[in-house]
Structure 1
């Protein structure tokens, strides 16, 4: 009888986790039920033959609870910042931090701290699938967001790929603003300065000092005008300091939009894929732990401060009873298999 992938229950301190392991132990993922958060993803390296950690996730319960760096956080119902924690929707004003008069920074939504439960799991000799669900986002549960959203997160693990499909369903009786994103940090076991990056984007989102996009079309600048942040041709990261959003992403031959992080010394690659949306890149320069040890490559459905942008309103609107999915993932490509991005 052919062995199948295994799913076992474990814990990170007091936090429940699910561990997914391939039959030959050469692929492994650990997901915390808190926030449906990916803690670890390992693939057997074709360089050493041993499982190689490819993410820089939370290492213990304290880090997970503190949410510092939002490591592999699921971003919903909004990715990145909402300016001044306030927005207007359907004629009503909403305050995400009522009573706060000092620091009004709010970012990355609520789902990353919500309690998820395992709804379904399947295993085969070639893959494993986890379907996680939360009903935590309800009117009154989170200040300034009086909407009812069910979220499901489907993780699929194969020998060389981790895929994520997030589906939001509006179970309330009013239209809700909603967008999804993911905030993973990736590593190839080398200083990021030595790695190369390829981003198939044509436009950069221009922001103010608070990293909030400028109004209207002023937010978009052609990458021809920002050669310091232009990675349309793969090049070494070096000392580049990046906390920026890329738009007008171009799909490759296979239809996926692929951002490629590569190690020239080994030929290994990580191909972060999505089918739509934007890509935020953060080189980890302000992290409390292990600055610039990894790179955040973040597929996001909408740009920063989308809740306050008329040009994003149609993309955000989730009608009562309606559902919308946002899919993304990452594939490890060994040195023997590397090929031009997008193929």
Structure 2
């Protein structure tokens, strides 16, 4: 019998190998709070940064002024808080929602949230489920979104994890990208610049708060403590990178669309009534 009582805030996953486990926060949008693979701390519950490991739906990052037009109608989303971003809508609508447990085994859990009442700025109903499956060296995250409305709606998906590192300067990141998005003073894209990032680059003293269009669905992170591969099943792949001031971790955020996609339509998808969209992210420990 599944216990969905209010005092249940987290759910733990484990394997036969005791130094591999994960914990998920039900009260914070099914966010992954802990991930340890073969004794290596990949994501830590001690990271209290806003939106840490949040699932970002129906849009990642920002929507300019919280405004957008869809099917000849204008919509106004709620803007962020003064200490985060009071100018734009930010990081979707489910990051702070309570999910419930649909099913659970020792190493897998299915979490669900249903938006039955249309919300201001996004007056559509939907079901979203997030399945976490843990093996000794891989975490699988599967997201299913179903349109339960009688109308189509626009959407994109993202994930906002912070990956731990004991030395960010000596950590390396590998992506394949030839374009970085340029942004204005409110972090809204206003152009692109040509780059050439093809393989591992050392972080050194670089400061990131940037989005890249990817030409591969795989990202690799090599720290002094571990090496992982992050992959996505999406056809459209964008990556938001952010280095927090304490530089004890790095946000590596796979997205199916960049910021302001409701207005630019870049990477934007439309989900028809009764249709289902499926996306999988994996985090795989490489080497020993």
TM-score normalised to structure 1 length: 0.76
1:223 is paired with a residue whose SS is strand
CA contact 2:4–2:101 (8 Å) conserved in 1 = no
2:272 and 2:205 map into 1 onto residues whose CA distance is: 44
Q: 1:292 to 1:304 in 2, by over 3 A?
A: same
Following the alignment from structure 1 to structure 2, what is the Cα–Cα distance between the partners of residues 137 and 262?
42
Answer yes or no: is the 8 Å Cα contact 1:17–1:31 preserved in 2. Answer: yes
- Deviation digits for residues 120-157 of structure 1 (CA, Å, limit 9, x no counterpart): 1245xxxx221111103631xx3211010100101110
SS in 2 for 1:308: helix
Of residues 179, 182, 186 in structure 1, which corresponds to 2:163? 186
Structure 2 contact 4–100 (Cα < 8 Å) conserved: no
Aligned to 1:258: 218
> Which residue of the other structure, out of 217, 223, 226, is the alignment partner of 2:195?
223
SS of equivalent to 1:112: coil
What CA deviation, in whole Å up to 9, does each residue of 1:47-87 have, x standing for no partner? Answer: xxxx232113456xxx5xxxx42100110111000001111
* Displacement of 1:283: 1.1
Alignment map for 1:43-62 (pairs within 5 Å): 43-44=37-38, 51-57=39-45
Query: Which of 123, 127, 133 is 2:112 aligned to?
Result: 133
Give the number of the structure whose residues are more often helix, by fraction. Answer: 1
Residues 1:69 and 2:50 aligned together:
yes
1:326 match: 279
Q: Indicate the SS of the match to 2:262.
A: helix
Equivalences for 1:37-48 in 2 at 5 Å? 37-44=31-38
Change (3 A) 1:57 1:82: farther
Deviation, structure 1 residue 333: 1.6
Give the TM-score of the pair, scaled to structure 2.
Answer: 0.89
Which sections of structure 1, spanning at least 5 residues, go unmatched? 1-7, 45-50, 225-229, 251-256, 286-290, 337-343
What is residue 184 of structure 2 aligned with on the other side? 208
Q: In structure 2, what is the equivalent of residue 248 of structure 1? A: 214
Question: How far apart in 2 are the matches of 1:293 and 1:9?
Answer: 35
Segments of 4+ moved more than 6 angstroms? 8-11
User: Higher Cα Rg: structure 1 or 2?
Assistant: 1
More strand by share: 2
CA RMSD of aligned residues (A): 2.5
Displacement, 1:197? 1.1
Shift of 1:14: 5.2
1:10/1:54 CA distance change after superposition, 3 Å: farther
